[in-house]
Amino acid sequence: MTKKRAAPPLAAAPFRRRLWLSLELVAALSVLAFLFVVLRLQSYSLTTPQPTLLLFRDPVPFSGEPKIAFLFLARAGLNLDFVWHSFFKNAQVGNFSIYVHSKPGFKLDQSTTRSPFFYGRHLEDSVQVNWGEASMIEAERLLLRVALEDPANQRFVLLSDSCVPLYNFDYVYNYLMSSPKSFVDSFSNKKERRYNEKMAPSIPKHKWRKGSQWITLIRRHAEVVVDDDFIFPVFKTFCKRKLAEDIDEKQISEPASEKKHGCIPDEHYVPTLLSMRELEDELERRTLTYTLWNNSGSEKDKRSWHPVTFQYGNASPKEIEKIKNIDHVYYETDLRTEWCQCNGTFVPCFLFARKFSPGAAMRLLNERFIRPFEISSLLQESS
Ligand SMILES: *[C@@H]1O[C@H](CO)[C@@H](O)[C@H](O)[C@H]1NC(C)=O
Ligand SMILES: *[C@@H]1O[C@H](CO)[C@@H](O)[C@H](O)[C@H]1NC(C)=O
Ligand SMILES: *[C@@H]1O[C@H](CO)[C@@H](O)[C@H](O)[C@H]1NC(C)=O
């Protein structure tokens, strides 16, 4: 038997060779097929970017003091420029910068502001902002983009034209600089009706967040917001405002799926983007801007809640002190109590407050909450 194996019949040899050839062919084809699949997978992942795989910008070196960029989202001018003037007057010029987004064509100069700090600080390429629409986040992104051009800007504070500071500059500066984190109000809401299923899979429902528009970002997060071209288009398409009035009027005729997605982009965009990018560990998940909500309409119906505007009458020292003493925030939908912290130490929650009328802001100044300040000196300077 062994002999037979050792000396196979001659006729078998060409057959063997053919067998080997075809085996080689099959192997070669398999390798090709495998390569083809790998390449296809690669091009697939290139055309459908996974946000977690996106890179961060390299840190930009700078010399000198780090600055806080104060970013104002204003309709037109700044009514409360006199409060901010006294705030910035007590700061070193090299420790802050100011950027204002106003309606297109609006310029800040001697004729539109009493404070020289704001001269020329408007963005040239501003957009028309409509409340509750994507144009609001476009304006925020523009402010961040322009502020990022100065490498010394290390913290980015978004403010409205009705915001006031509750402390002097040094306090705000040290508070923000002592923390390596951003301050972004962010919570999930199991009963969230603003999430649109069509956003999946780009934005899965468990990543959807809500939070106050008034954020403070570290530089790295400001870059993430400006560089985002993945989440923003989804928001533009699927997160659209529906006026409360519209909903009431159309409730009968509109299908339920239509009316439930009324969505206010600026209350969802940044917290959702940062949760998509797995950056929530780098956040203090709260806002630094206090808002008093008027829920007198109905305790339950949050749609009717609206911010109270402080007037001279209810901006008493006692009221302001109450705001400054708040040290925790309760998040009802998360069943989470946030004890306000900054780099591991307990601190007051709020550095800023809204919405203030000029009268209320004047009272705040007079009561010397910000710093001993002579109203007359400001009036002399600006006249
Ligand atoms: C501001 O900058 C100066 C140097 O220009 C620095 O000595 C100071 O500590 C900085 N901080 C504040 C809060 O002003
Ligand atoms: C934050 O806290 C740590 C630990 O207490 C401390 O070493 C660090 O200097 C603090 N960071 C800043 C920026 O103050
Ligand atoms: C709250 O809103 C109601 C009407 O919805 C109004 O009458 C009331 O004056 C408001 N309260 C404050 C403090 O603004």
> 90 CB under 6 A from ligand 1?
no
> 170 CB under 6 A from ligand 1?
yes
Task: State the average pLDDT over residues 203-218.
Answer: 94
Kindly state whether residue 121 falls inside one of the protein's structural domains.
Answer: yes
| Ligand 3 center from residue 301 Cα (angstroms) | 15
| Ligand 2 center from residue 221 Cα (angstroms) | 20
pLDDT score recorded for residue 200: 86
Kindly state whether residue 17 falls inside one of the protein's structural domains.
Answer: no
Kindly state whether residue 343 falls inside one of the protein's structural domains.
Answer: no
Lowest model confidence (mean pLDDT) among 141-145, 204-208, 356-360: 204-208
Please give the backbone phi and psi of residue 182, each rounded to the nearest 5 degrees, phi first. -85, 160
Kindly state whether residue 51 falls inside one of the protein's structural domains.
Answer: no
Any idea which ligand is nearest the CA of 297?
A: 3
> 178 CB under 6 A from ligand 2?
yes
> Measuring from atom 12 of ligand 1, which residue has the nearest CA?
170
SS3 265: helix
Selection from 110-124, 186-200, 300-314 with the highest mean pLDDT = 110-124
| pLDDT tens-digit series, residues 238-255 | 888 765 444 433 333 333
- Closest atom of ligand 2 to 179 CA is 13
- Closest atom of ligand 1 to 177 CA is 13
Kindly state whether residue 159 falls inside one of the protein's structural domains.
Answer: yes
* E strand spans, the chain: 67-73, 96-101, 153-160, 164-165, 182-183, 216-218, 283-284, 289-291, 293-294, 306-307, 328-331, 336-339, 341-342, 345-346, 352-354
Q: Find all residues with CB under 8 Å of 214, minimum gap 6, and list them.
A: 158, 159, 160, 163, 185, 287, 288, 289, 352, 354
| Ligand 3 center from residue 296 Cα (angstroms) | 6
| Ligand 3 center from residue 96 Cα (angstroms) | 37
Task: State the average pLDDT over residues 277-287.
Answer: 96
> 95 CB under 6 A from ligand 1?
yes
| Ligand 1 center from residue 54 Cα (angstroms) | 35
d(CA 44, CA 333): 38
Please report, for the domain that includes residue 268, its CATH number: 3.90.550
- Closest atom of ligand 1 to 174 CA is 13
Lowest model confidence (mean pLDDT) among 101-105, 138-142, 279-283, 292-296: 292-296
Tell me how many degrees the CA angle 202-204-210 measures, rounded to the nearest 5: 110
| Ligand 2 center from residue 63 Cα (angstroms) | 21
| Ligand 3 center from residue 316 Cα (angstroms) | 18
- Closest atom of ligand 3 to 297 CA is 5
pLDDT score recorded for residue 356: 97
- Please tell me which residue, 258 or 262, carries the higher pLDDT value: 262
pLDDT score recorded for residue 383: 36
Q: What is the pTM of this model?
A: 0.81
| Ligand 3 center from residue 308 Cα (angstroms) | 7
Range 48-51 contact pairs with CB under 8 angstroms and sequence separation of 24 or more:
49/230, 51/230, 51/231, 51/276, 51/277
| Ligand 1 center from residue 162 Cα (angstroms) | 27
| 272, amino acid identity | T
Kindly state whether residue 356 falls inside one of the protein's structural domains.
Answer: no
Q: Is the pLDDT of residue 265 over 50?
A: yes
pLDDT score recorded for residue 13: 52
Kindly state whether residue 190 falls inside one of the protein's structural domains.
Answer: yes
DSSP state letter for 134:
H
Token pair recorded at residue 361: 């802001």
Please give the backbone phi and psi of residue 134, each rounded to the nearest 5 degrees, phi first. -60, -20
| pLDDT tens-digit series, residues 12-58 | 555 566 666 676 766 777 766 656 555 555 544 444 555 555 779 99
> 173 CB under 6 A from ligand 1?
yes
| pLDDT tens-digit series, residues 117-152 | 999 999 999 999 987 789 999 999 999 999 999 999
| pLDDT tens-digit series, residues 59-106 | 999 999 999 999 999 999 999 999 999 999 999 999 999 999 999 999
Q: Compute CA distances 10 → 1, 19, 20, 23, whole Å.
A: 17, 15, 16, 21
Number of domains forming the structure of the chain:
1
Any idea which ligand is nearest the CA of 174?
A: 1
d(CA 128, CA 141): 14
DSSP state letter for 162:
T
Residue numbers of the domain that contains 139: 63-290
Confidence tier at 360 by pLDDT (50, 70, 90): very high
- Ligand 3: residues with CB < 6 A are 294, 296-297, 308
Any idea which ligand is nearest the CA of 301?
A: 3
Pocket test for ligand 3, best of 291, 293, 294 (most atoms within 8 A of CB): 294
Q: Which parts of 126-209 fold into alpha helices (H)?
A: 134-148, 169-177
Range 198-206 contact pairs with CB under 8 angstroms and sequence separation of 24 or more:
198/238, 199/234, 199/238, 199/239, 202/230, 202/231, 202/234, 203/231, 203/234, 203/272, 203/276
To the nearest whole number, what is the mean pLDDT of the chain?
Answer: 83
pLDDT score recorded for residue 164: 97
Confidence tier at 1 by pLDDT (50, 70, 90): very low
Please give the backbone phi and psi of residue 70, each rounded to the nearest 5 degrees, phi first. -95, 115
Q: Is the pLDDT of residue 113 over 90?
A: yes
Kindly state whether residue 271 falls inside one of the protein's structural domains.
Answer: yes
Task: State the average pLDDT over residues 259-267.
Answer: 75
